[in-house]
A and B are shown apart, each in its own frame.
Chain A
Amino acid sequence: MEADPKTKSAAAQVNHGSLPGLYVHVPFCRGKCAYCDFYSVGDLSLIPAWRKAVEQEILYHAGTFAPFDSLYLGGGTPSVLAEADLAALMEAIHRHFSLGPASEITMEINPEDADFEKLHGYRRLGINRLSIGVQSFDDEELRFLGRRHNARQAQKALLWARAAGFDNLNLDLIYGLPGQTLTGWEKTLAAALAFRPEHLSCYQLTVEPGTALARRTSGRPLVSEEKEREFFLFTGEYLEGAGFFHYEISNFARGEGNYCRHNLKYWQRQPYLGLGPAAHSFDGRKRWWNHRSLADWLEALNRGELPAAGEEVLTPEQVRLERLLLGFRTKRGVEFGHLAGDRWQENLADLASRGWLKVEEGRAVPTLQGYLLADRLPLYFT
């Protein structure tokens, strides 16, 4: 199945002006992975109710945002949706929102849900980018993480995805597992690269409160800080060497064109609308977020209300702080005009001399070393 050339080149464009993105949260999973703190439930019989409520939410927001140029179906596990539900959802989206033919439309899938027919079906529904939750190609590691697939299933899923015509694939990978060696991690990376993905998200395993991993580790760090640094730096160097552009701390795009357009909107403070429980939205001035639980979110919509649980209108200083904390996470960095604080110039010079920041055309840009301190850097400019 030939990829539609128009779809590919459009999805390959970065920094697509300031068109908003649309996010839909699919809060359903067959099981909870040990490390995950995203919101989801296991009762799949609630899917129809959820879908109808999303359609209702869509109606509330119809016409409020400029045409979207990205759609992201995230979760949870969007791939637990039956084709009928997915089709109805897509239909509602297209009916009430403007989502142009050149839009990037991403769906997250788990390898165990993939089969050729399904993937083909996704293509038919207009999905042109897949984010596959591979995490690792080592079965033992997969068990540790509480994933419900094995390496073989992941490989099959990837082959079918290509066969179904997806030319924009992302793999999610996790490193920093206790006992993991650099060699083992390199094996996973190499296995991933064998599928020539357009994009990789490599996350350091983080213990989030309230997860099974947190209970298991009861607050002890999983691996040493030194090891964390080592893995991060290795990953950066290895993938850059393989032709990937390390454009965000955990995100790599092959070649200049394969950024995740949707996620870039978060990091570049472009607007986005979030539907579904726990979803966040931003209209350029105000941020708001939906009720986290499916029940509360459903209840609000049943009462005929918008399911927002909170909101904030940003002050100029809050905007600046956001620019700092987001800017130092990406290769775009932060423009000088947004740097402040008594000693910002001295700090910039000092950090540059330490090799953490580079000065590029009036912007302070983090280096690979700088990425490792991204949470600290804003404090030097505040």
Chain B
Amino acid sequence: MRNIRNFSIIAHIDHGKSTLADRLIQATIIVPERLRRDQMLDTMDIERERGITIKSNTITLPYVAADGQEYKLNLIDTPGHVDFSYEVSRALASCEGVLLLVDASQGVEAQTLANLYLALEHDLAIIPVINKIDLPQADISGVKEQIKRELGLDPEGAILCSAKEGMGIAEVLEAIVTRIPPPRGNVEAPLTALIFDANYDSFRGSVVSVRVFDGKVKPGDIIRFMATGNVYRVEEVGIFGLTRLPQPELAAGAVGYLMASIKTVRDTKIGDTVTLDANPAPKPLPGFKEPKPVVFASIYPVSNDDYQALADALEKYQLNDAAIVFQKDSSAALGQGFRCGFLGLLHLEIVQERLSREFGQSLIMTVPGVRYQFTLTDGRVVAVDNPQHYPDPARIKETAEPYIRAAIMVPERYVGAVMKLCTERRGENPQFSNPLPGRVELRYDLPLAEVIIDFYDKLKSVTQGYGSFDYELSGYRPSDLVKLDILLNGEKVDALSMIVHRSRAREWAVRVCERLKEEIPRQQFKIAIQGAIGGKIIARETVSAFRKDVTAKCYGGDITRKRKLLEKQKEGKKRLKMVGQITIPQSAFVAVLKAGE
């Protein structure tokens, strides 16, 4: 245990976390040429595209330090978005220290701070690392100042490096050994191992990433997951190299994996404690939370014929996502689909994108919403997140919506803008504190519904990226809710309905109608777009009918070009949905989603 170090790299987006991880791997493990890729740990396409890490990827680095001893450095990769803060917290709970990475040309930014707080909450050793010192605009002394002033850390302990150029890597490795404490635990005590990640292997089932705190585990052991109560027989344990490396056992202080023919990742809950069935630990490790979906949306295939393919794609997707929940749903406008629950908007976007790829077709997703509570006149309380299940208004006695307590951290100069944003979003009960010089933390009560559609992006925009945002659910409060319906030529498009607060209804209606007008192509008849509450129209737009669509000339040299255009339009048609007589492109539903922008 003395020669183990468990650590993570935390940083603001694009500050070089992945590149540094690659360098550490290259410096310690000999990487065959063919396995070398630019960003080895980021395995998902979306991650590459967005420059963020979504899934944890953990690896054990064998390192011979300056003192001549062999160490095992366990690098635990962490997802970087507030939607996944629970996963981040479990990953950090598995570490003793972190490398806090700061880009020398950008300085300390919002996520740097947010991640630092998380690390402090877990009492981790913090090693500041200043990266990208090779850049001409690198301002090392400036960043050191920031580290002192804004982070409250000793800048002299900061390690200078350029992951891209391979500078300072040796110093980083030494620092991990000398400045991050070894894990503490009792190998004789009953087994407690924290699950911080799980991935699905189609041959072996769930591959569970664990940090062993006390005790040990080996193949043949019967283990129990303390939160789910499930019992399994361990088939294999090991550590993560570039590939999985089976080991005879994992003991206190170790980071690695176990496999026990666990059919899906849903059975392995992140934050759960693994113990031995024969000699269970008296208490689970602290901090376990059930993932709770807070954002809901319905997913439909563009063509009804593809429903089964979508169902299959969802099943397959589910294998690797423990958080998503879904059930069958149907819409008069869109046919058969699924109602899904997500951890947050990023989760939703990831699911949508991965699902589209898996499914091979475009998807229609309705406007995301939250779960509301309705107290009916007969006394019953019903929970409704699907606007289609909105109760009969005549029978509603009271309505309530979920609230959050939001914590927003910004440099002082943005406080006004943030207050304005929160007020616009029906924020209440503001409180201010000053955690660091120059930084203000605002706490607000906000309706969750106001936060799930583009709040985070708006926050980033008004704070020029410096605002960081975290929240906790704080229960239901009474609210004046209405159902906003969208009608096309008098017909309700149920998939576009939304449950909104009365004060925001008109604004939403206007925006949605405007976006739809832009997105719905002209057809052979006029289209009236209307937003309505009950029977009352509160917004309208019109799409005029097309009157002419013809090319004057079409001779020998024009045929190929015109046909290619037609082929393209034919492809585009696949993304069209008929609602009554009206053809609506899938992009229209997406546009309405983003109507707040």
Contacts and interface: CB of A to CB of B under 8 A. Distances in A.
A376 B562 CA distance: 12
B548 to A, nearest CB: 5
A249 B559 CA distance: 15
A280 B549 contact: no
Interface in B541-595: 546-557, 559-560, 562-563, 566-567, 569-570, 573, 578
Nearest to B524: A354
A329 B554 contact: yes
Of listed A232, A263, A279, A379, residue having the most chain B CB within 10 A: A379
A280 B550 contact: no
Interface stretch (A43-51, A82-90, A111-119, A318-326): A318-326
Nearest to B546: A376
Contact of A379 (B553, B556, B563, B573): B573
Nearest to A206: B552
Interface in A232-266: 232, 249-250, 263, 266
Contacts of B567: 318, 321
B563 A249 contact: no
A2 interface: no
Interface string A45-69: 0000000000000000000000000
A327 to B, nearest CB: 11
A203 interface: yes
Contacts of B556: 23, 266, 272, 274, 279-282
Contact of A203 (B552, B562, B563): B552
Contact of A326 (B552, B553, B554, B573): B554
A229 interface: yes
A325 B563 contact: yes
A249 B550 contact: yes
A197 to B, nearest CB: 19
Nearest to A174: B552
A339 interface: no
Q: Is the interface of A mostly helix, strand, loop or mixed?
A: mixed
Interface stretch (A95-103, A121-129, A367-375): A367-375
A361 interface: no
A373 B550 contact: yes
Contacts of B562: 325, 375
Contacts of A205: 552
A265 to B, nearest CB: 8
Nearest to A248: B554
Nearest to A341: B573
Contacts of A351: 524
B573 A371 contact: no
Nearest to A263: B555
A19 B411 CA distance: 79
A374 B550 contact: yes
A281 B552 CA distance: 21
Contacts of A23: 556
B557 A321 contact: no
Interface residues of A, number: 45
B552 A250 contact: yes
Given A287-B560, A326-B559, A354-B524, A382 B566 contact: yes
A3 to B, nearest CB: 27
A278 B561 CA distance: 13
B550 A372 contact: yes
A374 B554 CA distance: 11
Of listed B551, B560, B573, residue having the most chain A CB within 10 A: B560
A373 B552 CA distance: 11
Contacts of B553: 203, 206, 250
Contacts of A206: 551-553
A267 B566 contact: no
B408 to A, nearest CB: 44
Nearest to B556: A280
Contacts of A326: 554, 559
Interface in A272-326: 272, 274, 278-282, 287, 289, 312, 318, 321-322, 324-326
Contacts of B560: 280, 287, 289, 312
Of listed B547, B556, B557, B559, residue having the most chain A CB within 10 A: B556
A318 B524 CA distance: 25
Nearest to A175: B552
A318 B566 CA distance: 9
A19 B556 CA distance: 16
Contact of A225 (B548, B563, B578): B548
A249 B551 CA distance: 9
Contacts of A343: 578
B579 to A, nearest CB: 13
A78 interface: no
Contacts of A312: 560
A186 interface: no
Contacts of B554: 249, 266-267, 325-326, 329
A228 interface: yes
A266 B556 CA distance: 6
A382 B573 contact: yes
16 contacts: A203-B552, A206-B551, A206-B553, A232-B548, A249-B554, A287-B560, A289-B560, A312-B560, A318-B567, A321-B567, A326-B554, A351-B524, A372-B548, A374-B549, A375-B562, A376-B524
Which 3 pairs across A and B sit closest by C-beta, in order of nearness? A376-B549, A280-B556, A280-B557
Given A266-B555, A382-B570, 19 more contacts: A203-B552, A205-B552, A228-B548, A229-B547, A249-B550, A250-B553, A274-B557, A280-B560, A282-B559, A318-B563, A322-B559, A322-B563, A325-B559, A373-B546, A373-B548, A374-B550, A375-B549, A376-B546, A379-B570
